Amino acid sequence: MKKLLIGLAVVAFVISLIPSVFANCVCVCEYTPGYWKHNVRVYVEGRGSYAADYSGVKESDDSMECYEAWLRANVGDFSLEWANNEFWMRGPDRQPIRQMIADLLNEAKANAECVFGD
């Protein structure tokens, strides 16, 4: 019961931050919750391979860490582990939370300045 209450408090906190994150959103948020569910799971569980985005570029550990860092800096208490748990919880009421996480990751993908390589 305590874990449920903590989880609900975290979700409520993240939801309360959405208006400030998207106030100046100029991105086209086009990646689905399924795209992010798969890629977050690959990152967190370390198995499988990343899916490619629409341009054919696959996500990577580096890109996922960059998105997570951007969200922590701009949203607050966000982790890919939390997102993975939320994506895989069952229930018909879970879709809005999955969409919210996808929207946050889309925002990070559009705005994070990720630099990879040497």
In order along its 118 residues, the chain shows pLDDT tens digits of 766 656 666 666 666 665 555 444 444 558 999 999 999 999 999 999 999 988 899 999 999 999 999 999 999 999 999 999 999 999 888 999 999 999 999 999 999 988 765 4
pLDDT recorded at residue 23: 47
pLDDT recorded at residue 30: 83
Name residues whose C-beta falls within 8 Å of residue 12's C-beta, 6 or more positions apart in sequence. none
Are 36 and 82 in contact by the 8 Å Cβ rule? The answer is no
pTM for the model: 0.73
pLDDT recorded at residue 7: 64
Name residues whose C-beta falls within 8 Å of residue 37's C-beta, 6 or more positions apart in sequence. 87, 88, 98
